[in-house]
């Protein structure tokens, strides 16, 4: 931002935001790899031979606020408007394992997502929605196993067979320690819970993704596209190793490992990030672990278009940003896409802004024509060249983490955290200096405009938190307390040893209306809490 009139920056830099040199012209001899065919190893051009012709990506808008009633209404609205999957945003007390009446939940109930404390909340959340017909994704990590258990309990009560359930729990604790911050337990028992849920889900809910290994938050925290993919694949390897320690069959469980990323504004770098990521993951699984089943080599991922690439200044510009990012996601071959609403940089989206974001995806899907042939950019000299370069740089990042001692150690020591914080500062200083152009914010900004005029303001129903607490107290008063305590005691006993899978105990707890906070409390008694490295 300057005090003078808007100034045009110099021509765009000739390196990508990750620092890869961009040649003026790329010619055939500069391309090293043969991209091969879609649906064939190493899947550079996509995991399916027919791309989106067989099945369009899932249009899945992240949504949730206030009470279960309000969020249920928003879900019904989005489904009526043509959304094809649900994505549940949960509030921070739910994510961190505190009941809405806990002192730690102070002023946070229903703020950044919906509050789900017991099965009673989930019953309201999905009221009138057919769980056997819609896939549901939960952005939940520290308490992912409990939310998964509760989803199964809800399905049980509605008479929906568990094996028909589709959807995803994020359940990626490693990146919570690095960037997102909703960790609860130390690393070891957290990894046990994740392995428990993957092992259980692979059998009981074979069409459900029990983990979505996420680079999105690391990216939004400041890392580059190369680091986003590199850190995420390194975390993916840590989960594979953990599953192998637990006796899992990699040809089996790897089929249900899914991934999750942000799409920011540098169009070709984003497209090539996904093409390269698909290739690197398939290669790692085949070369290191000897995976033979092609389905287990497939890198399936969802994305968010928006995030920290959006600005609070001139918010309507964000509609265009999200449209460009949406196209990059499709040309990169995403399986599920969430387009942020234009006001998402500063508030919970209004119904209007949420609808505009949904319409953006529908225009890309049904008007633009870019999904009609598989990997339309495949064979472009530049796209194949940049895919090769991204592959090499991503591989380098993974090697750096392994040289450090692996993802688990890099996280426990705070190595990755410091690296990202440093990167975030660099990015901020570049933006401040105007080297990185953000239209309407640090360049082409109108000084005669009220920077704080955000248009329509979303107002959270302040009573929602009250309703949530009322229901919670009512459930606690009316439930069969003997049954609840018995289920909780069994969970606690099983957590004391390491012989048993904890998920069936959690499902029993949910059926008995034991709360998330009670389950977390019982586990904390055995495992304690993660001690965050706070060095800068």
Partner 1 sequence: MSLSGKRILIAKPGLDGHDVGAKVIALALRDAGAEVIYTGLRKAPDFIASVAVEEDVDAVGLSILSGSHLDLVAETSRQLLALDGGAIPLFVGGTIPADDHAALAEAGAKGIFTADMKIEDVVAAIDAVLS
Q: Does 392 bind partner 1 (CB under 8 A)?
A: no
Q: What is the 3-state secondary structure (H, E, C) of 338-368?
A: EECCCCCCCCCCCHHHHHHHHHHHHHHHHCC
CB of 352 to partner 1, least distance (A): 18
CB of 202 to partner 1, least distance (A): 29
Q: Does 95 bind partner 1 (CB under 8 A)?
A: yes
Q: Does 428 bind partner 1 (CB under 8 A)?
A: yes
434, 9 contact by CB (below 8 A)? yes
Q: Which stretch binds partner 1 (CB under 8 A): 362-370, 421-429, 473-481, 487-495?
A: 421-429
Q: Does 311 bind partner 1 (CB under 8 A)?
A: yes
Q: Which is nearer to partner 1, 66 or 85 (CB)?
A: 66
Q: Is 251 exposed, middle or buried (0-12, 13-18, 19+ CB in 10 A)?
A: middle
CB of 111 to partner 1, least distance (A): 5
Q: Give the chain's count of helices (H) and strands (E).
A: 20, 9
Q: Which is nearer to partner 1, 37 or 312 (CB)?
A: 312
Element housing 260 (H / E):
strand 257-263
488, 458 contact by CB (below 8 A)? no
Taken in order 480, 486, 487, 491, the sign of the CA dihedral is positive
Q: Does 464 bind partner 1 (CB under 8 A)?
A: no
Q: Distance between CA 92 and CA 111 in Å, rounded? A: 8
**DSSP calls for 359-415:** HHHHHHHHTS-TTSSS-TTTT-HHHHHHHHHHHHHHHHHHHHHHHHT-HHHHHHTTH
CB of 460 to partner 1, least distance (A): 8
Q: Which stretch binds partner 1 (CB under 8 A): 103-111, 242-250, 322-330, 477-485?
A: 103-111
CB of 6 to partner 1, least distance (A): 15
Q: Which is nearer to partner 1, 38 or 142 (CB)?
A: 142
CB of 173 to partner 1, least distance (A): 12
Q: Does 222 bind partner 1 (CB under 8 A)?
A: yes
Given candidates 68, 96, 144, 364, which one binds partner 1 under the rule CB under 8 A?
A: 96
Q: Does 532 bind partner 1 (CB under 8 A)?
A: yes
Neighbours of 260 (CB within 10 A): 26
Count of residues that interact with partner 1, criterion CB under 8 A = 45
Given candidates 81, 111, 413, 466, which one binds partner 1 under the rule CB under 8 A?
A: 111
Binding mask 192-221 for partner 1 (x = CB under 8 A): ----------------------------xx
Q: How far is CA 291 from CA 176, 255, 298, in A?
A: 28, 10, 11
- Contacts (CB under 8 A) with partner 1, residues 174-193: 176, 179-182
Q: Distance between CA 319 and CA 382 in Å, rounded? A: 27
List phi, psi (to 5°) of 275: -65, -45
Parallel, antiparallel, or unpaired for β 135-138 and 167-169? parallel
Q: Which is nearer to partner 1, 176 or 384 (CB)?
A: 176
206, 163 contact by CB (below 8 A)? yes
Q: Distance between CA 25 and CA 76 in Å, rounded? A: 49
Given candidates 432, 447, 470, 525, which one binds partner 1 under the rule CB under 8 A?
A: 432
- The footprint of partner 1 (CB under 8 A) covers 1, 92-93, 95-96, 98, 103-108, 111-112, 176, 179-182, 220-222, 311-313, 345-347, 420-422, 424-425, 428-429, 432, 441, 451-452, 454, 457, 460, 532, 534, 536
């Amino acid at each position: 931002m300057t005090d003078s009139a808007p100034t045009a920056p110099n021509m765009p830099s000739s390196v990508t935001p990750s620092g890869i040199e961009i040649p003026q012209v790329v010619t055939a001899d500069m391309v090293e790899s043969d991209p091969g065919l879609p649906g064939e190893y190493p899947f550079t051009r996509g995991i399916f031979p027919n791309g989106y012709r067989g099945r369009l990506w899932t249009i899945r808008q992240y949504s949730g606020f206030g009470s279960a009633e309000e969020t249920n209404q928003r879900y019904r609205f989005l489904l009526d408007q043509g959304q094809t999957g649900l994505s549940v945003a949960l509030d921070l007390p739910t994510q961190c394992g505190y009941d809405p009446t806990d002192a730690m939940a102070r002023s946070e109930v229903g703020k950044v997502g919906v509050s789900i404390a017991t099965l009673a909340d989930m019953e309201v959340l999905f009221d009138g929605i057919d769980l056997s017909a819609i896939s549901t994704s939960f952005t939940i990590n520290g308490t992912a196993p409990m939310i998964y258990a509760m989803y199964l309990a809800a399905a049980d009560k509605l008479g929906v067979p568990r094996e028909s359930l589709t959807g995803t729990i994020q359940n990626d604790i490693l990146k919570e320690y690095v960037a997102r911050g909703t960790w609860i337990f130390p690393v070891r028992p957290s990894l046990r819970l994740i392995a428990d849920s993957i092992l259980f889900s692979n059998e009981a809910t074979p069409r459900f993704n029990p983990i979505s290994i996420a680079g999105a938050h690391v990216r939004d925290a400041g890392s580059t596209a190369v680091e986003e993919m590199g850190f995420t694949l390194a975390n993916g390897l840590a989960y594979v190793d953990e599953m192998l320690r637990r006796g899992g069959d990699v040809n089996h469980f790897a089929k249900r490992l899914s991934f999750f990323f942000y799409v920011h504004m540098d169009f070709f770098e984003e497209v090539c990030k996904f093409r390269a990521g698909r290739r690197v993951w398939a290669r790692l699984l085949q070369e290191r672990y000897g995976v033979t089943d092609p389905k287990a080599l497939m890198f399936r991922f969802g994305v968010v278009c928006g995030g920290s690439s959006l600005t609070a200044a001139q918010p309507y510009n964000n509609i265009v940003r999200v449209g460009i990012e949406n196209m990059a996601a499709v040309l990169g071959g995403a399986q599920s896409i969430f387009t942020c609403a234009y006001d998402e940089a500063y508030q919970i989206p209004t119904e209007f802004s949420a609808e505009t974001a949904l319409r953006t995806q529908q225009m890309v899907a049904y008007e633009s024509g870019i999904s009609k042939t598989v990997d339309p950019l495949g064979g472009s000299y530049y796209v194949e060249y940049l895919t090769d370069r991204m592959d090499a740089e991503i591989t380098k990042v993974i090697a750096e983490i392994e040289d450090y001692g692996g993802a688990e150690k890099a996280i426990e020591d705070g190595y990755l955290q410091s690296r990202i914080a440093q990167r975030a500062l660099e990015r901020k200083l570049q933006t401040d200096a105007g080297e990185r152009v953000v239209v309407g914010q640090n360049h082409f900004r109108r000084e005669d405009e009220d920077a704080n005029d955000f248009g329509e303001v979303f107002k959270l129903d302040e009573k929602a938190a009250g309703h949530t607490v009322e229901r919670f107290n009512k459930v606690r008063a009316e439930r069969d307390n003997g049954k609840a305590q018995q289920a909780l005691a069994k969970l606690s006993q099983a957590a004391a040893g390491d012989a048993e899978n904890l998920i069936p105990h959690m499902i029993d707890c949910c059926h008995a209306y034991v709360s998330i906070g009670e389950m977390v409390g019982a586990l904390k008694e055995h495992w304690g809490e993660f001690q965050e490295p706070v060095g800068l």
